[in-house]
Structure 1
Amino acid sequence: MDPDPGKTMRPTEPETDRGEGRAAARSLLVKGEEPSEGFMGVAEELLAVRSTADRPGDLRRALDLVLDFAGPGFTVERFTSAGKPSALVYHGAPRPRFRVILNAHLDVVLAPPEQFRPRRAPGRLYARGAQDMKVSALVEALVFRELAARLPYPIALQLVTDEEVGGRDGTLHQIERGVTGDFVIIGEQSGLRLVTDSKGMVTVNLRSVGRGAHGAYPWLGDNALLKLHRTLDDILARYPVATEEVWRTTVNVARVETFDAARNQVPALAEAWLDVRYPPQDADLNGRTAEEIAAYLGSFCAPGVTPVVEHVDPPHHADPGRPEVLGLQRAARNQGYDGGFLRKHGAADGRFYYQRGIDAVIFGVGGDGQHGPDEYVDTATITPYYLALTEFLLALSSP
């Protein structure tokens, strides 16, 4: 891991013309109205940044843009791990235990260049990252700027650039360096509902070893790829591919490959990537160590196939009766939303806080098309989201 550059105080000198435009964007309209044109302009600027894992310069650019939008006068701690930059912003010093952490990721998954050219339609803003989750990040930055110095308790804005590739070099990296709090709001998309439960995650490589031979004489070899396919068939018989939403364990086969370069060669080596998502009800996986899960998956493997478990993250859960959860639900309802509870099949960075006994919920704007060619944010949810976060923080008491 790379060393952390440390903390800085953002200067309070006059902003540039570009900064003045962003300062003007830091006001949203009243309940029921679309966000200001200024805010939408900054959102489009951020959405145009191709902040994917393979573009470190654009990861930094997206991070700096949101830090600039949050404004001067705050302490900014910058972190870097495995080339992924992140930041923690708060008022004053030294770093306290935060009453609330507003967490946002600024990285997005790969997409063609045209998906980084934002376009508007009535009630929608289309672009890669519009729903997941750059617009929510800007709203969190706006709320932080307006309230951080006014609240009777400390809050933080946590900005990371690696959530889409696991979150271990952003949120987890910061936690391992002492960042902590009482309650965390992850700004992932939710349509102003509260995600209190998420599935656990296991990443697995299946490695198959056979015996190479000339493709014209297969009886002289032992095809590693065929053994791997038999193993995958057995695993998927236990965990069938879901054809509709269901709260059970799912296994996604993300890659199957050999290392042969010739058609007339029996593969001696083969490998498959598995992405396993499981609810707490799965006793075969929940609460198990990586070694125990590897042994369990080994029972499905053909001779010569070995499961290698890279990461195990438990399911995430937040107490729906916790005062902060109820307060956030009440704030959403006051904006005309039901604030219902959701379960998510995907894992978010809240799981790292959950493992340390800190409640975290997902609460963000609405939209659709996450990770797809027609991803969009429902612009009618932006202002209510801003107002709900503001109301929640103003009503929350010190611990």
Structure 2
Amino acid sequence: MDDVREFAAALVEFESTNGEEAAVSAWLSDRLDEFGFEVYEWTVDADRLADQPSFPDDPADIRVADRPSVGGVLEFGDPEAGTNIVLNGHLDVVPADEGQWSSPPFAARWDGDELTGRGAADMKSGLAGCVFAARRLADSDFDLDGRVVVEGVVGEEAGGVGAAAAALDNPYPFDRDAAIVAEPTELAPVVACEGSLMKRLELTGRGAHAATPWRGENVLDQFDEVRSAFEDLAAERESRVTHPLYEEFPTKWPVVCGTVEAGEWASTVPASLTAEWRIGVAPGETVAEVERAFDAALADVVADSEWLREHAPTFERFSVQFEPSEVDPDEPVVRSVVDALREHGVGDPEPRGVTYGTDARHYVDAGIPTVLFGPGSIEQAHFPDETIDATEVETFVDVAADAVASFLRQSR
């Protein structure tokens, strides 16, 4: 398995959806061992994560059984005299609806340089690139001190359980000085990631026969009031909350009602409704302060409605919360990536922000400066016929190897 293309395709062949990463973790562990890495593994302590505000309060809601994360370490020169950098990728993928695909999603398919399969872009090719960038350094004549860690973590799509566990309780017997997370950024350095708040709204109306709707209380009318208030708040936030890396986006802080379930019969006035919201959180904000703003907007709607005052809605967190993260573009790890991109004349070396969350936030919260930088496009992530150009993965290997070498040299 000496070719990054073969390695990426082999990773894609694993149907490693949330909680089903054991086989791919074992495979990666074996490959890292074969390549000469010192291999570490760690599992998730559900009680430990449940104490963190980003995760569900009930440990039973956090899947931990049989899903180890893997880290492989290469040492250079005098490792104690140098710095240590993590190259991180996640092993899990989102599910794939085969009916939406033109070929089996977990059978890697090649069309020239293009690799198609679930996880090809998000982000098994990026992880493969990390492995081969580290190997490139090991086979080079660079005079370096320090350590390079390649991580394959589980559960990123479910909030980053493997990375969160590693950030909270260091699985290595040395400190980590920086990290590169190889999410698909089109070979651009990303220094700011948006957060998100997940909230579930429940409203109660009163049922009645559709022939006599005046005898009921249509819960959809109440929902329209709430949705309108949230849209007004979202528009106000778009104009008030600013960030220099986000002005290019049509919507900087998206607020989306992703699911709505109401009523139980076409001939009955709907009496109950459940709606789930995903609310964007800007870098520099916290999930808690944005939550307070939307809670207050709902409270204003309730105060203006006699029905809602007497039948109070609930608006509770669910799933996993993503705090935003940001790193200074002048951090040495960012400068190393930027300089390597400029030296190779590829990608866009200007640091940017993105409207999605990543595992970077866990490392940043642990005091580890972290930059996103990887091959492929986020537009392919979670998409039918997910595809990546393998030549971009090979370019990533070249650039990442030089960036890591530059970072390690800075410790001298």
Q: Which residue in 2 is equivalent to 1:298? A: 298
**Which of the numbers 250, 255, 261 marks the counterpart of 2:259?**
255
**Which of the numbers 170, 181, 201 marks the counterpart of 1:178?**
170
The answer (yes or no) to whether the contact 1:124–1:377 under 8 Å persists in 2 is yes
The CA distance in 2 between the partners of 1:296 and 1:159, in whole Å, is 41
**Structure 1: runs of 5 or more not aligned:** 1-21, 26-37
Q: Which residue in 1 is equivalent to 2:374? A: 364
The answer (yes or no) to whether the contact 1:148–1:155 under 8 Å persists in 2 is no
Counterparts of residues 80-159 of structure 1 (less than 5 Å): 80=44, 81=46, 82-84=62-64, 85-91=67-73, 99-113=84-98, 114-145=104-135, 147=137, 152-159=145-152
Q: Which residue in 2 is equivalent to 1:246? A: 250
Counterparts of residues 1-399 of structure 1 (less than 5 Å): 22=1, 25=2, 38-53=3-18, 56-57=19-20, 59-72=21-34, 74-80=38-44, 81=46, 82-84=62-64, 85-91=67-73, 99-113=84-98, 114-145=104-135, 147=137, 152-167=145-160, 169-179=161-171, 181-239=176-234, 245-246=249-250, 248-258=252-262, 260-280=263-283, 286=286, 288-289=288-289, 292-299=292-299, 301-302=301-302, 303=308, 304-310=312-318, 312-337=321-346, 338-367=348-377, 369-395=380-406, 396-397=408-409, 398=411
Helix, strand or coil for the counterpart of 1:132?
helix
Shift of 1:343: 1.3
**Structure 2: runs of 5 or more not aligned:** 47-61, 99-103, 239-247, 303-307
Helix, strand or coil for the counterpart of 2:202?
strand
The answer (yes or no) to whether the contact 1:66–1:138 under 8 Å persists in 2 is no
Helix, strand or coil for the counterpart of 1:51?
coil
Structure 1 window deviating more from structure 2 (358-367 vs 186-195): it is: 358-367
The answer (yes or no) to whether the contact 1:78–1:87 under 8 Å persists in 2 is yes
The answer (yes or no) to whether the contact 1:235–1:300 under 8 Å persists in 2 is no
Aligned AA for 2:276? W
The CA distance in 1 between the partners of 2:403 and 2:184, in whole Å, is 18
Helix, strand or coil for the counterpart of 2:93?
coil
Aligned AA for 1:70? L
Helix, strand or coil for the counterpart of 1:70?
helix
The answer (yes or no) to whether the contact 1:106–1:133 under 8 Å persists in 2 is yes
Structure 1 window deviating more from structure 2 (291-300 vs 142-151): it is: 142-151
The CA distance in 2 between the partners of 1:370 and 1:291, in whole Å, is 27
Shift of 1:318: 1.1
Shift of 1:364: 0.3
Helix, strand or coil for the counterpart of 1:351?
helix
The CA distance in 2 between the partners of 1:69 and 1:269, in whole Å, is 53
Listed one character per residue, the Cα deviations across residues 252-297 of structure 1 (whole Å, up to 9, x for unaligned) are 1110013x5433333333111111113247xxx6474476245334
Compared with structure 1, are the counterparts of its residues 191 and 252 closer, same or farther at alpha carbon in structure 2 (3 Å cutoff)? same
Scaled by the length of structure 1, the TM-score of the pair is 0.77
* 4+ long deviations beyond 6 Å: none
Compared with structure 1, are the counterparts of its residues 140 and 75 closer, same or farther at alpha carbon in structure 2 (3 Å cutoff)? same
Scaled by the length of structure 2, the TM-score of the pair is 0.75
Shift of 1:164: 1.6
Compared with structure 1, are the counterparts of its residues 181 and 223 closer, same or farther at alpha carbon in structure 2 (3 Å cutoff)? farther
The CA distance in 2 between the partners of 1:280 and 1:137, in whole Å, is 26
Compared with structure 1, are the counterparts of its residues 88 and 61 closer, same or farther at alpha carbon in structure 2 (3 Å cutoff)? closer
The CA distance in 2 between the partners of 1:186 and 1:230, in whole Å, is 41
Listed one character per residue, the Cα deviations across residues 72-111 of structure 1 (whole Å, up to 9, x for unaligned) are 4513223145335242424499xx9972121111222222
The CA distance in 1 between the partners of 2:342 and 2:183, in whole Å, is 18
Structure 1 window deviating more from structure 2 (368-377 vs 290-299): it is: 290-299
Aligned AA for 1:226? D
Compared with structure 1, are the counterparts of its residues 112 and 309 closer, same or farther at alpha carbon in structure 2 (3 Å cutoff)? closer
Helix, strand or coil for the counterpart of 2:105?
helix
Considering fraction of residues, name the structure with more helix.
2
Larger RCO of the pair (alpha carbons < 8 Å, separation 6+)? 2
The CA distance in 2 between the partners of 1:98 and 1:61, in whole Å, is 32
Percent of matched pairs sharing the same residue: 25
Helix, strand or coil for the counterpart of 1:43?
helix
The answer (yes or no) to whether the contact 1:126–1:377 under 8 Å persists in 2 is yes
Aligned residues: 352
Considering fraction of residues, name the structure with more strand.
1
Compared with structure 1, are the counterparts of its residues 139 and 291 closer, same or farther at alpha carbon in structure 2 (3 Å cutoff)? closer
Listed one character per residue, the Cα deviations across residues 316-363 of structure 1 (whole Å, up to 9, x for unaligned) are 211111222111211222222142212111111111222333321100
Shift of 1:172: 1.1
The CA distance in 2 between the partners of 1:358 and 1:221, in whole Å, is 56
The answer (yes or no) to whether the contact 2:191–2:326 under 8 Å persists in 1 is yes
The answer (yes or no) to whether the contact 1:69–1:141 under 8 Å persists in 2 is no
